[in-house]
Amino acid sequence: MLDGDDIRRLIPHRPPMLLVDRVSELVPRRHLVGSYTVTGSHPLPPVLLLESWGQAALVLIRHDRPMPDVLTGGVPVAGVFEEIRFGRPVWPGETVEHRVRLTRLLADTGFVEGETVIGSEVVMRVGRLVGAVRPAATLRPAALAGVSDGKEST
């Protein structure tokens, strides 16, 4: 249903941190099935497995409101992770399938749950993730308010 180009038009993540290859099923405001094939020579760290699942969740939450640029579209922020359970390691060459269900959507805040599987084996469960989109300017520390291009303004 969605390939890498489609996904890059929806969310701001880019290689090497774009961790969703395709979306095979998307029911707006309900659920999504997305996948990622692990490359490299080491197992996928659990934190990156969770990041990959979170990116799939962001595609579900934002599919009708694309945000390919964080400076104009906002910054996706994961606020709460609950009941995360990891199974076995995910090895290079394996393709994980993320199953994400939207349980609630309030403005730019989404509540999602789901799991990641390889075949019929669950390798991660997410009890709940609460994510939001916030304007980039509101996330900058006050101390950096006068900083532009790495140089302080006078």
pLDDT at site 150 = 52
- For residue 16, cis peptide bond before it (omega within 30 degrees of 0): yes
The CATH number assigned to the domain holding 19 equals 3.10.129.10
Report if residue 146 sits inside a domain. Answer: no
Report if residue 34 sits inside a domain. Answer: yes
Report if residue 118 sits inside a domain. Answer: yes
User: Which tens digit of pLDDT belongs to each residue from 33-60?
Assistant: 999 999 999 999 999 999 999 999 999 9
Sheet with 75-86, edge to edge strand ranges: 22-27, 31-37, 95-106, 109-118, 121-134, 75-86
Look up the domain containing 86 and give its range: 4-136
- Please count the structural domains in the chain: 1
User: Which tens digit of pLDDT belongs to each residue from 108-153?
Assistant: 899 999 999 999 999 999 999 999 988 888 887 764 555 555 554 4
CA 147/CA 152 separation, integer angstroms = 4
Report if residue 126 sits inside a domain. Answer: yes
Report if residue 9 sits inside a domain. Answer: yes
Residue 19 DSSP symbol? -
Q: What is the mean pLDDT of residues 74-91?
A: 94
Report if residue 28 sits inside a domain. Answer: yes
Report if residue 152 sits inside a domain. Answer: no
Report if residue 44 sits inside a domain. Answer: yes
